[in-house]
């Protein structure tokens, strides 16, 4: 069991990175539906944040089972703070809107990756950084709120896709 959990911990960043490169700025029909749902429906954004936090809880558990230390406790505290949708939404929006903060977060994640006992903090920062890329920006949410865009849903979808990242 421990070996399986260690394999999950090892392959997790690569799987997330592969998903990121396969889906980022691609015009698949799945992506179009994803952009539309994330922009139009509050519950879709809430589900995305909930799934991200659930993934973090699972990865914290994997880190706790294989190598419990203070960094696992600290990453669990960060994950618990993200239980509140308001906090998770603010964190994902802030990371998406401010590219400098996003870059600093990912650089800090790389530093944590190089220190073996801080791997759990790396997983939290890395997951938040990648999840924030797929979170809708404030500009896209403003486009949604425009009154004249209600008349033309296909045109609105094209504007959302063009401005999503």
Where are the chain's structural domains?
2-21+33-163
CA–CA gap between residue 61 and residue 80 (Å, rounded): 13
Residue 72 in this model has a pLDDT that exceeds 80:
yes
pTM to 2 decimals?
0.85
pLDDT at residue 124 in the model: 93
pLDDT at residue 127 in the model: 92
Tell me the pLDDT tens digit for each residue of 1-32.
778 888 888 888 888 888 888 877 777 788 88
CA–CA gap between residue 47 and residue 52 (Å, rounded): 8
pLDDT at residue 38 in the model: 85
Share of the chain above pLDDT 90, in %: 35
Average pLDDT, the chain: 85
Tell me the pLDDT tens digit for each residue of 94-129.
998 888 999 999 999 999 888 888 988 999 999 999
The candidate with the shortest Cα–Cα distance to 52, out of 133, 161, 140, 116, is 133
pLDDT at residue 142 in the model: 80
């Amino acid at each position: 069991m421990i070996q399986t959990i260690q394999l999950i911990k090892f392959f997790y960043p690569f799987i997330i990175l592969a998903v990121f490169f396969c889906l980022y700025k691609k015009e698949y029909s799945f992506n179009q539906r994803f952009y539309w749902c994330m922009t139009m429906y509050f519950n879709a954004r809430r589900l995305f944040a909930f799934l991200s936090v659930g993934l973090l809880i699972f990865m914290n558990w994997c880190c706790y089972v294989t190598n419990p230390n203070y960094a696992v406790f600290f990453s669990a505290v960060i994950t618990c703070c993200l239980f509140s949708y308001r906090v998770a939404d603010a964190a994902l929006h802030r990371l998406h809107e401010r590219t400098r903060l996003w870059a600093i977060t990912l650089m800090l994640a790389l530093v944590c990756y190089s220190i073996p006992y801080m791997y759990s903090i790396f997983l939290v920062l890395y997951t938040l950084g990648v999840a924030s890329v797929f979170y809708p920006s404030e500009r896209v949410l403003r486009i949604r709120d425009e009154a004249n865009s209600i008349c033309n849903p296909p045109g609105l979808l094209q504007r959302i896709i063009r401005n999503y990242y």
